[in-house]
């Protein structure tokens, strides 16, 4: 609900919004309507969602939750929800998913979160811990992190690197840029490292390094990166954990061998 609040400035310089009775009533009606829609979609999660209402979560976050609920509803029938309501491990994952949905900034993220629950709905004590960690890992990643991981899986490292990295410009061209343009360029150049580092830190990718070989130059350090002092990175490849994360959100691209194995089993 869009509105233009008016208010005053207090002694600390903070803006104090002055709500009139009509506006406050409208906001309450709006929140109640969202509440009814959300709890109607997931009846047994009412107590979980009530936590958000009790701490007066901003309507923007409730809007995000309501959008996610629509995706969730498309994946879980009423009968299935009733079957799952006594599964305390699923309830715990659902609680985390609801929290994540209030911070979701894209339709893709809503699908990822709901699909994760769909693929892990029969969680039990034995596999609860790893599934909870996978869901937490999903939360730490940006949509671009996931896009890069998925692209390496689907298209390979070379295509992904060329698609997401920025080519260097000449020194002369860089000097001609304004300060803001230089900042944006430097940020774009650092973007690839930022995303791949996040994926490596979460153990979803691992770096394959260039091994020393005799190139005939007599240089024993030709395989060393001047900036890091470590062997140069040849490419990044997915770990088993990376594959599991993509499988859990329904975007993993199976190889032909994997497809045949799945068909047999």
- The CA-atom distances, in angstroms, between 248 and each of 87, 119, 125, 141 are 19, 6, 18, 14
Of residues 135 and 32, which shows the higher confidence score?
Answer: 135
If asked whether residues 130 and 15 sit together in one domain, one would say yes
Residues composing the chain: 265
Q: Are residues 148 and 136 in the same domain?
A: no
Same domain, 11 and 125: yes
Nearest Cα to 213, choosing from 231, 235, 237? 231
Q: Does some domain include residue 35?
A: yes
Phi, psi values for residue 165, rounded to 5°: -95, 160
Strands 233-238 and 205-209: antiparallel
Give CA–CA dist 127/122, Å, rounded: 10
14 vs 35, residue with greater confidence: 35
**What is the SS3 assignment for 54?**
helix
Does residue 83 belong to any structural domain of this protein? yes
Of 47, 46, 42, the closest CA to residue 81 belongs to: 42
| Same-domain status, 243 and 194 | yes
Contact in structure between 112 and 76 (CB atoms under 8 Å)? no
One domain, residues 120 and 222: no
**Interval 3-8 mean pLDDT:** 37
In the predicted structure, residue 23 carries a pLDDT above the cut 60: no
Give the DSSP letter of residue 44: G
Per-residue pLDDT reduced to its tens digit, 49-80: 666 555 556 677 778 888 888 899 899 888 88
Confidence of residue 2 (pLDDT cuts 50, 70, 90): very low
In this structure, the answer to whether residues 167 and 228 fall within a common structural domain is: yes
Distances (CA, A) of 187 to 23, 69, 174, 191: 42, 35, 13, 6
Mean pLDDT of 129-144: 97
User: How many other CB atoms are found less than 10 A from the CB of residue 174?
Assistant: 13
Would you say 204 and 137 are in contact if contact means Cβ atoms under 8 Å apart?
yes
Domain range holding 93? 7-140
Q: At a CB cut-off of 8 Å and minimum separation 6, what does 46 contact?
A: 39
Per-residue pLDDT, 50: 60
């Amino acid at each position: 609900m869009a509105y233009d609040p008016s208010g005053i400035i207090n002694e600390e310089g903070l803006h104090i919004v002055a709500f009139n009775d009509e506006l406050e009533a409208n906001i309450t009606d709006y929140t109640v309507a969202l509440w009814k829609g959300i709890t109607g979609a997931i009846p047994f999660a009412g107590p979980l969602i009530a936590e958000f209402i009790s701490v007066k979560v901003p309507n923007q976050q409730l809007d995000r939750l309501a959008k996610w609920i629509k995706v969730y509803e498309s994946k879980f029938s009423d009968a299935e929800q009733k079957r799952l309501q006594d599964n305390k491990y699923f309830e715990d994952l659902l609680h985390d998913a609801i929290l994540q949905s209030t911070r979701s900034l894209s339709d893709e993220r809503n699908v990822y979160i709901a699909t994760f629950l769909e693929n892990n709905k029969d969680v039990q004590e034995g596999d609860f811990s790893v599934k909870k960690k996978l869901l937490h890992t999903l939360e730490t990643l940006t949509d671009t992190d996931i896009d890069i991981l998925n692209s390496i899986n689907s298209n390979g490292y070379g295509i992904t690197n060329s698609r997401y990295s920025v080519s260097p410009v000449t020194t002369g061209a860089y000097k001609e840029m304004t300060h803001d343009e230089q900042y944006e360029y430097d940020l774009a150049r650092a973007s690839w490292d930022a995303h791949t580092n996040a994926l490596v830190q979460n153990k979803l990718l691992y770096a394959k390094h260039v091994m020393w070989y005799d190139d005939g130059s007599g240089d024993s350090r030709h395989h060393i990166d001047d900036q890091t002092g470590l062997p140069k990175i040849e490419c990044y490849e997915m770990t088993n954990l990376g594959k599991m994360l993509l499988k859990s959100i329904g975007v993993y691209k199976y190889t032909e061998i994997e497809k045949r194995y799945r068909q047999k089993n």
